[in-house]
Amino acid sequence: MPKCAAVSQHPYAFRGGGNDVPPTRRKAEPLWRRPVAIVARILVEPAEQQDHDRLESAVESRLHDLGGPPDGLMLHVGYPHGGGFMIVEAWRTADLFRSYLDQLLLPALSESGLVAGEAEVTSAWSVARP
């Protein structure tokens, strides 16, 4: 039995049986190859900053009614792009993002009279926040 539980849970921790069995190195996929999140990009076009602000207000109102930020949201950025604006978000899982998209964001877009393109979702290898 390992003396330190934290060491035994590390992906590269040694493990083994009794004293007569030499420890073996557990083969694990390197951490840099595992997706840690997903990144979703959504283009809202045509739109101006007033449209962005109206959407932001509709989303904030819905989030307030639900009791706070959605589960799994790690980062949100909105910025001007082309003839509209881009929404970029990092989420813990694609399922959590899809739930938010279907239940909150798409209805808020519709309520605001805005049209968004298909969400582009990809895996992220890292997400850093200060």
CA distance 30 to 37: 16
Structurally, the chain folds into a number of domains equal to: 2
Q: By residue range, what is the domain housing residue 25? A: 1-29
Model pLDDT for residues 78-124, shown as the tens digit of each residue: 999 999 999 999 999 999 999 999 999 999 999 999 999 999 999 99
Return the H-helix or E-strand segment holding 43.
strand 37-44
41 and 23 belong to one structural domain: no
**φ, ψ (nearest 5 deg) of residue 14:** -80, 145
Residue 48, domain CATH: 3.30.70.100
Model pLDDT for residues 1-24, shown as the tens digit of each residue: 444 444 334 333 333 344 444 455
- Classify residue 3: in a domain, yes or no: yes
73 and 15 belong to one structural domain: no
67 and 92 belong to one structural domain: yes
89 and 113 belong to one structural domain: yes
CA distance 106 to 118: 11
Q: What is the DSSP letter of 36?
A: -
69 and 120 belong to one structural domain: yes
Q: Against a cut of 0.85, is the pTM above it?
A: no
